[in-house]
Amino acid sequence: MLDRRQFLSTAAGGVAALSSPLAFRGDLLAQIEKAPALPDRFLLDKNEDAFWAEMRKQFIIPDDEIYLNNGTVGSSPAPVLRAIFDGYNTTEKLDQQEPEDYPIWGYAAWNEFRDPLAAFVGCKRDEIALLRNATEANSYIANGIDMKPGEEVLMTDQEHPGGEHPWNLKAKRYGIVVKKLTLPRPVKDAAQVLNLFNDAITPRTRVIFFSHITTFSGVVLPAKELASLARSKGILSAVDGAHVPGMMRLNVTDLGCDMYSASPHKWLQATKGTGFLYVRDEVIDRLWNTIATEGWDEVKIRAERFQRIGSSNVPALWGLRASIKLATDIGIDRIERRHRQLGDYTLDGMKKRGAESWTSPDPALRCAIVTVNAPPVNRVDLENWLWKTHKIRIRGGAEPSKLRLSTPYYLQKKDIDSFLEKFDEYKREKNIAGPLSGHSDLTICATI
């Protein structure tokens, strides 16, 4: 227990620390300020590996760490972090020109943020609402669609809890029916998926809900074809696109879906707590608000009414805008190509180790997430061993042997090689010999 002298000494030290601007700002700003200028775009054509190696310097992840979990959350690079701080510096002064202008998000159109986002995902500004993540957007979708007891929503068995459970809540509360179809492991081709959905549709099906890229296996489902199938039968289509922005090119208008949700904090490496809901203009008036405040029933503001949630974190939107600019400047097609190349590289490495691929053999149905069946590896044990022994951070799943590895675009092939070498070392140390077999699965996300 501190006596009075010790307490005063401790308190004085705390005040002294707070009086130092650098200490008050903390280590984060200092690290951001140390980040070098972004590499020139021409370097992509001259030396891709050198370009991505330079991009690694934009992240404050320690040099000795290999981070392989963008499937859960990405690390925001310096331009995004800098934009967030700029946002706070601007909004927290509370010196806006008009006395009724406040940086509280909840009652504004925020078109300076919606416009670049709409352009990036291929829709009109009035069709998009700024939310916090895909889970929130999926809840808006499930809560907002009128359905009667016994009417059905059709989904796969590979949905994220943030996509599935809003419908389970609706089923428990209102008596709708949640129907799941089982996706093959692996999905052979798009026709296989379309046939499964088509055969599962009944006269009571009102909504088809599916992940554009599933978090479980990383299969890229044929979203455009599924949306067309739904439209042809008078069924609404809602897509959980949490993994898509920043991983691959996205044009929601071209997809033809009615609703689309996403979490840009993953592959776009945007601010945590930024997401969006797209609602096709022809469908907006059919979707009820989940949160009601001023403007909830104003038809003229279109999708904006879904983002009116009261005060929130506007500087986060500055970071989202910066992440969109960064991806656009690099080129989303170049990013997607990198994803596919390193995804295949990782898959080949695991197959050479005797793993069974659960990733689709169709190149169009895979991108930055690779899944292999790799027993008898124990996921929890391997995850802890890799992190505590070698500073390699991965993610698993509900299944005892499921691993997921996400490789952000700034990684080099040598980082994946390092993981593969440590994977071999782990097997030797645990006396796991010979080809892998059984029912475990290893999920690898290549986000390059």
Do the beta carbons of residue 305 and residue 75 sit within 8 Å?
Answer: no
315 shares a domain with 168:
yes
Asked whether the beta carbons of 139 and 112 are under 8 A apart, the reply is: no
Domain termination residue (choose one: 290, 325, 360):
325
Domain shared by 172 and 221, yes or no:
yes
Res 14: pLDDT: 44
The answer to whether residues 151 and 244 belong to one domain is yes
Which tokens sit at 401?
């042997």
pLDDT over 70 at 371, yes or no: yes
In the block, residue with structure tokens 């099906």: 205
* For residue 325, pLDDT beyond 80: yes
Q: What is the pLDDT of residues 252-277, one digit of tens each?
A: 999 999 999 999 999 999 999 999 99
Q: How confident is the model at residue 126 (pLDDT cuts 50, 70, 90)?
A: very high
Average pLDDT, the chain: 89
| In a domain? residue 74 | no
Q: What percent of the chain has pLDDT over 90?
A: 72
Say if pTM beats, i.e. exceeds, 0.85: yes
What integer pLDDT is reported at residue 446 of this predicted model? Answer: 53
Give me the number of domains the chain comprises: 2
Residues 237 and 209 in one domain: yes
Report pLDDT digits (tens) over 174-203.
Answer: 999 999 999 999 999 999 999 999 999 999
Q: Give 293 or 13, the one with higher predicted confidence.
A: 293
Residues 376 and 303 in one domain: no
Position 55 in a domain: no
Instruction: Kindly report, residue by residue over 25-41, the tens digit of the pLDDT.
Output: 558 888 888 889 999 98
CATH code of the domain in which 195 resides: 3.40.640.10
Would you say residue 342 has pLDDT above 90? no
Please determine, for residue 438, whether its predicted confidence score (pLDDT) is greater than 60.
Answer: no
Measured between its terminal Cα atoms, the distance across the chain in Å is 52
* 2 part of a folded domain: no
Same structural domain, 134 and 170: yes
Cβ pair 350, 442 in contact under 8 A: yes
Residue 19: pLDDT band by 50, 70, 90 thresholds?
Answer: very low
CA distance 423 to 306: 46
Domain boundary among 294, 325, 356: 325
Q: 297-327 burial, b for 16+ CB within 10 Å, e for fewer?
A: eeeebbbbbbbbbeebbbbbbbbbbbbbebb
Both 242 and 377 in one domain: the answer is no
Same domain, 310 and 369: no
70 within a domain of the structure (yes/no): no
What's residue 192's pLDDT? 98
Q: How confident is the model at residue 104 (pLDDT cuts 50, 70, 90)?
A: confident
Is residue 80 scored above 90 in pLDDT?
Answer: yes
Which pLDDT score is estimated for 13?
A: 43
Tell whether 288 and 376 lie within a shared domain: no
* Domain shared by 298 and 359, yes or no: no
- In the predicted model, what is the mean pLDDT of residues 134-155? 98
The rounded distance, in Å, linking the Cα atoms of 10 and 45 is 56
What is the span of the domain harbouring residue 339?
Answer: 333-446
- 405 and 293 inside one domain: no
